Structure 1
Amino acid sequence: MSLLHVQNLGKSFGGVKAVDGISFTLAKGELLALIGPNGAGKSTTFNMVNGQLKADQGSITLDGTELVGKKPREIWRLGVGRTFQIAETFSSLTVVENVQMALLSHDAKLFAMWRRASDHKRDEALALLDQVGMKSQADRPCSVLAYGDVKRVELAIAMANDPKLLLMDEPTAGMAPKERNSLMALTKQLVIDRGMAVLFTEHSMDVVFAYADRMIVLARGRLIAEGKPLEIRDHPKVQEVYFGSGKTFEKKAA
């Protein structure tokens, strides 16, 4: 059963249609890759699902609840988590404190007078860090972590609201190949264990083809193809948009 329904979604900036009437669904327990060349409309689509941009037309429903018109915080409280292309953590805080901050926010206590914020749901924060392989570094400042580890902390933060849907914007940007595969394998396992859905954008095609269950492809704001990775790999429109005629993803990677 589908968790996310996007129907006839559109957004224009001036006279330019950044997203032009796209529709797709995403099921629980599924990793869906949203790909396309620069300017395809990927970020605009992401920002509409997340509530940072309001759609000009169409509908976005999560478990039957309409998201269009809701603020990002409202959408977050409905069970939508997000990670960013550039990892966002508080470098002056420890790893566990970063996750505790997210848990405080989820409990609507972020701006209340803290009795001792460092005590708030520490065990729950440690459990989240354990799921992403960062429990052993819980008391280290984020400022001293390797970038791949910061990405894991960000993932733990994104799960603080127990998301039904996780949006991942370029999750492996800036990472070495080994780190990329480690993070995406972890994400895949979390999807299986938690039954959540993941929508992610990614420029690294090796990551997309290795881990996505399905793919949707945008070009100039329009959806030009959708299907399983092998179907997309051989899709003539996708090949043309990415590489022009006569080239393939395999040759590109080589």
Structure 2
Amino acid sequence: MSVLLQVQGLTKSFGGNRAVDDVGFELKAGELLALIGPNGAGKSTTFNMVNGQLRADAGSIRLEGQELTGLAPRRIWRLGVGRTFQIAETFGSMTVIQNVQLALLSADRKVFSFWRSAADHRRDDALALLAQVGMVPQADRPCSVLAYGDIKRVELAIALANQPKLLLMDEPTAGMAPKERNELMALTKQLVKDRGLGVLFTEHSMDVVFAYADRLIVLARGKLIAEGPPLLIRDHPKVQEVYFGTGKTFEKKAVAEEIVR
């Protein structure tokens, strides 16, 4: 697999606090990479710098060799980076398909016209995106009546509207029941396989991380302390230390089981 995203020397400070300190990693096409760490580790700051919502103090972020550092989020989106958010947001008064059509309008750099209904814009393409996330039967329902798990599916269809090479998912399963979490991540895994996407996601649910990520990168106090496949990270002594401390009450087996849960 070819390298899709390359991050080098990423650094960000807020006042005297260095939230991200010389972080670097790579993400390949067709790979799910989980970014994890305890609270205050620098996950959100790193994530938002990749997306352009925060400007890095130093470092480089390249998508297929093209520098993203310093670009606005809308420009990064148009270069092929999709994103979902921890708290899913859709236009509740609009139908499912209309929400996706709005994203397609933006991808096409078009605006509403008094002479042509936005409801006519690429309806077949919007339905195709909804088919990929299993939402065609609810295409004409307003988003305000959907279950939260279905809202997350609509958000995923919206994120795919610009045919992204890279998909950023911020806490994709937050607020979801276990069954919904597994369904969404299994769907994401299938999309990665079908489209050859690269996915970078943050997640607090360790069951989701260890079940679906191909690789993990772990941050603690702004520094990258470990990276590798799930089994390696599960047994990594530094990872166990930052999550659970160094007390002797934690046996290795018990710690490993706790991380998997």
Q: Same fold (TM over 0.5)?
A: yes
Match of 1:146 in 2: 147
Structure 1: gaps spanning 5 or more residues: none
Distance 2:99 2:209 in 1: 29
What amino acid sits opposite 1:98 in the alignment?
N
Match of 2:227 in 1: 226
Aligned residues: 254
Moved over 4 A (4+): 111-114
Structure 2: gaps spanning 5 or more residues: none
Q: Is contact 2:94–2:142 with CA below 8 Å preserved after alignment?
A: yes
TM-score, length-scaled by structure 2: 0.95
Distance 1:199 1:124 in 2: 25
SS class of match (2:90) = coil
Q: Is contact 1:101–1:110 with CA below 8 Å preserved after alignment?
A: no
What amino acid sits opposite 2:85 in the alignment?
F
Distance 1:227 1:14 in 2: 32
Distance 2:217 2:174 in 1: 20
Distance 2:20 2:192 in 1: 28
Alpha-carbon deviation of 1:114?
Answer: 5.8
Q: 1:123 to 1:58 in 2, by over 3 A?
A: same
Match of 1:248 in 2: 255
Alpha-carbon deviation of 1:244?
Answer: 1.4
What pairs up with 1:77-96 in 2 under 5 angstroms? 77-96=78-97
What pairs up with 1:148-187 in 2 under 5 angstroms? 148-187=149-188
What amino acid sits opposite 1:128 in the alignment?
L
RMSD of aligned C-alpha atoms? Answer: 1.1
Distance 2:228 2:108 in 1: 38
Alpha-carbon deviation of 1:49?
Answer: 0.5
Match of 1:35 in 2: 36
Give me the identity figure in percent: 77
SS class of match (1:153) = helix
Match of 2:124 in 1: 123
Q: 1:112 to 1:220 in 2, by over 3 A?
A: farther
What amino acid sits opposite 1:24 in the alignment?
F
Distance 1:46 1:252 in 2: 22
Distance 1:249 1:85 in 2: 27
Q: 1:130 to 1:185 in 2, by over 3 A?
A: same
Q: Is contact 1:51–1:72 with CA below 8 Å preserved after alignment?
A: yes
